[in-house]
């Protein structure tokens, strides 16, 4: 039996695609937006009063690590999807560094089936660029796309051989898939544990130079130029990388980029007294880099804000800083961080935040949605811009707990998440 149509009544609808920022009603029918207007209602509709809340096209995190298959003790597709909807994300794209690696259609299909069983966020697999993520032989992009892959990436590892990267970009054009690249020069990274600089020297940790990233960024942009392929730069972290992307866009090269909340808000000094919750790759950088990234999200150089949600077991992150793995969680902290630290502070307007969290990532991955126009999927994130909350890792739905933002009180939070016209998360039901 079909579900009754739903009216979300009285929300401030923020839709950057339609150029709309006004109080409107939304009518949801059979999983899609049926109408946007004032006072709309048909007999039999179920009315949900959302006055005072912001209704945005459902947020999409294009860079997460769900660890399943093979590393379920860190995260499963189900626990990751639960964290996603609690964080306001109606869709996510999960990286290929599972065990086995997602380099075959069977693994891609398995991840999609696990997501369907969870029935929460839409989970879109990203397949490996190279077989086994070894950087040698290109994966079968066509078969992987047919199985449901929306992009290819060896994220967690760079494709070091430029000839292999060129072939991957050429092959990706045939299948209209973006190549998402983790830009790092491993020979320069060495045994580094945090960003190279004055603070690393002060606390005695081996550093990763900024050149490790921007050399790879500039190489890959050059390869994108000669192949005409779509290149997406994951987790920009340096001023020089952002400048390279800006120049590439101005030259008409098909390059897009993302930035994470932690690189937009924190600097290398967050490592403090060897806090492994501030250990991620690329590492936190200097204040000048952070300011350059803020400019990049304000002027359109960066196309998306993505979390790089990378859960690890608590025991792993309790190791000494040098031995602990890189990576933190982000799905359940990203939206309030963006609302307070970027929107309320005046760095970007709310519509730009919605574009970076919803419209941009969907356009890069070729996914439907990212707007609230009639006919679009009824994937909606409801926000309360005035409500305050405190980040408490113990309450996370993710199996990961490592975040440098624990204990931080923020204004602005996710109230509810709707996927396909169905409420899959409600803050009031989860207190």
Strand partners, 388: 411
How far from chain centre, in Å, is Cα 402?
Answer: 17
**Beta 179-181 vs 54-57: how paired, if at all?**
unpaired
Spot the catalytic one: 25, 289, 308, 379. Answer: 308
Alpha-carbon distance of 310 to 65, in angstroms, equals 5
Its sign, for the CA torsion 392, 257, 287, 94, is positive
DSSP codes, 403-414: -TTTT-EEEEEE
Strand partners, 205: none
Alpha-carbon distance of 98 to 76, in angstroms, equals 11
If you ran DSSP here, which 8-state letter would residue 82 be given?
Answer: H
Output the six-digit token pair for 325.
């793995």
User: From the CB of residue 121, how many other CB atoms can be counted at a distance below 10 Å?
Assistant: 31
If DSSP codes are grouped into helix, strand and coil, which group holds residue 325? coil
Q: Which residue has the tokens 């970009």?
A: 169
Q: Is 21 a catalytic residue?
A: no
Nearest partner of 337 among 363, 312, 310, 357, judged by Cα: 357
In a 10 Å sphere around its CB, with 0-12 CB exposed, 13-18 middle and 19+ buried, how is residue 40 labelled? middle
Half-sphere exposure for 273 (CA within 13 Å, toward CB): 0
Could you give the residue numbers annotated as active site? 308
């Amino acid at each position: 039996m079909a579900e009754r149509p739903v009216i979300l009544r009285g929300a401030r609808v923020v839709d950057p695609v339609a150029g709309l920022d006004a109080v409107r009603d939304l009518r949801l029918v059979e999983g899609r937006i049926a109408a946007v207007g004032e006072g709309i209602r048909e007999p039999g509709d179920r009315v949900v009063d959302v006055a005072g809340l912001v209704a945005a096209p459902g947020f999409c995190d294009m860079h997460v690590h769900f660890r399943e298959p093979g590393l379920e003790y860190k995260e499963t597709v189900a626990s990751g999807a639960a964290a996603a909807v609690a964080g306001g994300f109606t869709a996510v794209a999960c990286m290929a560094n599972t065990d086995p690696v997602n380099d075959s259609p069977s693994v891609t299909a398995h991840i999609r089936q696990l997501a369907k069983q969870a029935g929460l966020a839409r989970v879109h697999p990203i397949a490996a660029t190279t077989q086994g993520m070894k950087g040698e032989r290109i994966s079968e992009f066509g078969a992987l796309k047919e199985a449901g892959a929306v992009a290819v990436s060896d994220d967690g590892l760079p494709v070091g051989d430029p000839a292999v990267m060129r072939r991957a970009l050429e092959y990706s054009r045939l299948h209209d898939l973006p190549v998402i690249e983790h830009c790092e020069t491993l020979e320069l990274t060495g045994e580094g544990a945090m960003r190279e600089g004055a603070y690393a020297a002060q606390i005695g940790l081996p550093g990763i130079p900024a050149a490790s990233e921007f050399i790879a960024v500039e190489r890959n942009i050059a390869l994108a130029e000669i192949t005409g392929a779509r290149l997406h730069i994951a987790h920009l972290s340096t001023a020089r990388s952002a400048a390279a992307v800006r120049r590439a866009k101005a030259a008409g090269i098909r390059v897009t980029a993302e930035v994470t909340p932690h690189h937009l808000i924190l600097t290398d000094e967050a490592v403090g007294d060897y806090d492994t919750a501030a250990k991620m790759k690329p590492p936190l950088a200097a204040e000048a880099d952070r300011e350059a990234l803020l400019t990049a999200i304000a002027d359109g150089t960066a196309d998306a804000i993505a979390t790089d949600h990378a859960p690890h077991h608590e025991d792993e992150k309790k190791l000494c800083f040098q031995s602990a793995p890189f990576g933190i969680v982000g799905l359940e902290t990203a939206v309030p961080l963006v609302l307070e630290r970027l929107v309320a502070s005046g760095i970007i307007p709310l519509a730009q935040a919605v574009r970076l969290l919803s419209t941009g990532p969907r356009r890069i991955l070729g996914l439907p949605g990212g707007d609230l126009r009639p006919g679009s999927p009824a994937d909606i994130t409801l926000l309360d811009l005035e409500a305050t909350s405190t980040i408490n890792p113990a309450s996370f739905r993710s199996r990961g707990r490592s975040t440098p933002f624990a204990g931080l009180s923020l204004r602005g939070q996710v109230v509810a998440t709707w996927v396909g016209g169905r409420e899959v998360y409600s803050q009031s039901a989860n207190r």
